[in-house]
């Protein structure tokens, strides 16, 4: 949180700007506001957007020892679009709605990467998956599913740590691998599906 400076003597209000992620703005979040060696918990309600103002009535009494409100102006940081390197060529991005049709009902064996854009090891897997997708083109289908956006599939297949790779054949889960793996390790797991 950044404070907006006020001129003059004792202010009757203090203004702050708080930047939230899209998810925090949608769901609501609790933040700590440090002011004059005091710490206030600020509860941001769900559904706020850029320009919204959260008012803490008479909060200056707690932090500064005199009456006044704290006003918190909300700014929502737009999420960065997923770069093309995050979803490798030859790898299909799937979701909760099409998981059944793309994975379970697939005529080809399927390797599914449960991932999230903020996960470093997941980003390390992107070129490994792309290389494998090119190597096994037409023999194995490669899919990625974002666990933050698709909690139902992540929960159903217990993808608690990411990256988690699941290997399906004829609609059945054959093998599971948790954590980033090297190309030769992935190839060994894929060869079992053929």
Q: DSSP alpha helices (H): ranges in the chain?
A: 22-27, 59-63, 99, 120-135, 151-156, 183-193
Q: Does 97 lie in the same domain as 58?
A: no
* Residue 38: predicted pLDDT: 84
* Residue 84: predicted pLDDT: 41
* Residue 2: predicted pLDDT: 59
Note down pLDDT in tens along the chain; length 194 residues: 656 544 445 568 888 888 888 888 888 888 888 888 888 888 999 888 899 999 989 888 888 889 999 999 999 887 554 444 445 568 999 999 999 999 999 999 999 999 999 999 999 998 999 999 999 999 999 999 999 999 999 999 999 899 999 999 999 999 999 999 999 999 999 999 98
Residues assigned a catalytic role: 119, 122
Q: DSSP alpha helices (H): ranges in 4-107?
A: 22-27, 59-63, 99
Domain count across the chain: 2
User: Quick check: helix, strand or coil at residue 168?
Assistant: strand
Q: Is residue 86 part of a domain?
A: no
Token readout for 66 is 């005199």
CATH number of the CATH domain containing 50: 2.60.260.20
Q: Which domain holds residue 44?
A: 2-77
């Amino acid at each position: 949180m950044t404070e907006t400076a006020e001129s003059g003597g004792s202010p009757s209000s203090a203004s702050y700007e708080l930047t939230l992620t899209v998810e925090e703005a949608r769901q609501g979040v609790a933040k700590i506001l440090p002011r004059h060696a005091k710490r206030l918990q600020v509860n941001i309600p769900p559904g706020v957007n850029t320009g919204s103002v959260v008012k803490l009535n008479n909060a200056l009494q707690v932090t500064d020892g005199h009456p006044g409100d704290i006003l918190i102006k909300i700014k929502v940081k737009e999420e960065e679009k997923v770069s093309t390197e995050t979803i490798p060529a030859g790898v299909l991005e799937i979701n909760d709605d099409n998981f059944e049709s793309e994975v379970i009902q697939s005529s080809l064996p399927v390797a599914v990467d449960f991932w999230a854009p903020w996960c470093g090891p997941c980003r390390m897997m992107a070129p490994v998956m792309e290389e494998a997708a090119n190597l096994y083109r037409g023999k194995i289908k490669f899919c990625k599913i974002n666990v933050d956006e698709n909690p139902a599939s992540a929960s159903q297949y217990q993808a608690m740590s990411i990256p988690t790779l699941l290997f399906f054949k004829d609609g059945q889960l054959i093998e599971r691998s948790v954590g980033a793996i090297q190309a030769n390790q992935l190839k060994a797991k894929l060869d079992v599906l053929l």
